């Protein structure tokens, strides 16, 4: 996929996502209308209206979110670490330029302060225009946006955040350092005692060896580590996961310390996350057991 190829797409054509991370397979959505295409300083950005999934955001040819199924990702990457923490007052989001994670984090009354560090301001601009139901997160008075490199931003802080959520792209190109030990060490320093880190994991079916490597690296930095799974129809194989880590041995990831009541689920407008889903997301198939051993 290149920007030049996108410019040749007609109104009745298909967007096809293929990548070296999942060789030999591809995923396609039929395009109704191209809404935006362009280059930022960091990546190619495409937004199109699809026939079946509403508006779609793709970065460097990889789908980041669609209006139809984004909630399954945004809710899980946000609420699993937040409900696993007894009192998350200060939260850092690294990435998250579409605003969806900020939207979910802001729903927690316990959260007083949200910092979002996004390197690509153009992603925020495009998301605000074409993904209003997602980017509504930017309207929260709790939120402060920082346009800079997440690693450099993290270097400024020690024991500042209760929860850090790394809402990054897949582990290619500039996102690779966010899956490496120096980054995990920085997050450990930046977390308060009892703090929790939640990062984008990858698909069990296409990236299990890499996930095993990442969990092993996390265990060399954090005493508590786990892998949680969710289903997102427009991600590779329809499955994606999250790598979680607790700064202290006392942290329990698999069971919320604050249970979302039925009333709270309705108040938050949740469509995927609930108490049972939180717990069951850590139950993995036999071939992936080592991730949570």
Residue positions annotated with a catalytic role: 167
Q: How do the residues of the chain divide into helix, strand and coil, expressed in percent and rounded to 5?
A: 35, 30, 35
User: Looking at the chain, how many residues does it have?
Assistant: 293
Would the CA dihedral through 186, 246, 160, 199 be positive or negative? positive
CA distance 123 to 109: 27
- Neighbouring CB atoms inside 10 A of 169's CB total 19
Cβ-based burial of 202 (10 A; exposed 0-12, middle 13-18, buried ≥19): buried
Quote the DSSP letter at residue 36: E
Q: Where are the alpha helices (DSSP H) in the chain?
A: 3-6, 70-83, 100-105, 121-130, 132-135, 150-154, 181-190, 204-219, 262-268, 275-280
Distance between first and last Cα of the chain: 38
In SS3 terms, 139-169 reads as HCCCEEEECCCHHHHHCCCCCCEEEEEEECC
Instruction: Using alpha carbons, select from 108, 115, 102, 114 the residue that is nearest to residue 74.
Output: 102
């Amino acid at each position: 996929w290149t920007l030049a190829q996108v410019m040749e797409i007609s109104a009745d054509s298909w967007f096809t996502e293929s990548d070296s991370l999942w060789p030999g397979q591809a995923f396609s959505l039929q395009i109704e209308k191209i809404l935006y295409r362009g280059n930022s300083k960091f990546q190619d950005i495409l937004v199109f209206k699809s026939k079946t999934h509403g508006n779609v955001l793709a970065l460097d040819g990889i789908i980041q979110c669609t209006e139809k199924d984004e909630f399954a990702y945004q809710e899980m990457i946000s609420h699993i670490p937040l409900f696993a923490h007894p009192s998350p007052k200060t939260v850092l989001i690294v990435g998250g330029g579409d605003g969806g994670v900020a939207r979910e984090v802001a729903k927690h009354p316990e959260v007083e302060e949200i910092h979002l560090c996004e390197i690509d301001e153009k992603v925020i601009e495009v998301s605000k225009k074409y993904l209003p139901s997602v980017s509504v997160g930017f309207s929260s008075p709790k939120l402060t946006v920082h346009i800079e490199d997440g690693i450099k931003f993290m270097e400024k802080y020690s024991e500042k955040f209760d929860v850090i959520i790394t809402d990054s792209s897949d582990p290619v190109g500039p996102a690779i350092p966010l899956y490496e030990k120096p980054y995990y060490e920085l997050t450990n320093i930046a977390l308060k005692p009892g703090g929790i880190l939640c990062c984008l994991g990858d698909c069990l079916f296409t990236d299990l060896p890499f996930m095993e490597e990442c969990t092993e690296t996390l265990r060399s930095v954090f005493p508590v580590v786990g892998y949680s799974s969710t289903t997102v129809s427009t991600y590779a194989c329809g499955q994606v996961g999250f790598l979680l880590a607790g700064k202290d041995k006392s942290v329990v990831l698999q069971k919320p310390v604050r249970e979302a009541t039925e009333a709270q689920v309705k108040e938050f407008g949740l469509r995927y996350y609930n108490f049972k889903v939180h717990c069951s997301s850590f139950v993995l198939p036999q071939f992936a057991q080592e991730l949570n051993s």
